[in-house]
Amino acid sequence: MIEPEMAFYDTNDNMRLQEDMLLYVIGRVLERRRAELSVLERDVSKLESIKGPFPRIDYSDAVVTLQQKGSAVTWGDDLGAEDESLLVEDHTTPVFVCNYPKQAKAFYMKENPADPRTVLCDDCLAPEGYGEIIGGSQREDDYDKLVARIREEGLPMDAYGWYLDLRKYGTFVHSGYGLGLERSVAWLCGTPHIRESAAFPRMMNRLRP
């Protein structure tokens, strides 16, 4: 994983940075690694066509779209790989799905003031059916809400004492995300399976190294 954490970034700033980073990486790969992409028989025109801004789809709208496409997903469910593929099938760029239900996401994500059932988060889905490559969120900075969420999830309060102390006496807006390196490499290279982008993939006959 690549795990940036940014002070004074809200959820929109967070998505903008994710987009800028992906566009930069795509540009560098096309600039420096065309020979390798050719060996892999990657269709580079699909990477060359990617421009910003990336579409942003609210989770609730995504559920409606998926149901129209025949998915059995209902509001409150997390999205599986098949659902993610359905959402991006009409797009040539990555797509952000925003504001998931809080029960489907981690306790530290900021409650969405526009809809308290949801949190200010995003999943960035790669085109061509490669699924989620980035997950990010604005972090909860309200101490009392954070304590309440930890209790709702039934997590051990003592284990998160250090985390709560960071917010107990006031904090600031902050966000972060995690990019799956092997997932992203698989997408950029157009490989059929993520194990081809892992140095030591776990296989049926090998657990280590």
Per-residue pLDDT of 129-150, as tens digits, reads: 999 999 999 999 999 999 999 9
Helix (H) or strand (E) holding 39: helix 34-39
CA–CA gap between residue 209 and residue 199 (Å, rounded): 9
Percent of the chain with pLDDT over 70: 100
**What is the per-residue pLDDT across 82-123, written as a single tens digit (0 to 9) for each?**
999 999 999 999 999 999 999 999 999 999 999 999 999 999
**Contacts with 194 (C-beta within 8 Å, 6 or more apart), sequence order:** 182, 183, 186, 201
Q: Beta strand 5-7 with 95-98: parallel, antiparallel or unpaired?
A: unpaired
The SS3 assignment for 204 reads coil
Query: What phi and psi values does residue 133 have, to the nearest 5 degrees?
Result: -115, -20
CA–CA gap between residue 128 and residue 94 (Å, rounded): 9
Amino acid symbol at 109: M
Give me the CATH topology for the region 5-190. BirA Bifunctional Protein; domain 2 (3.30.930)
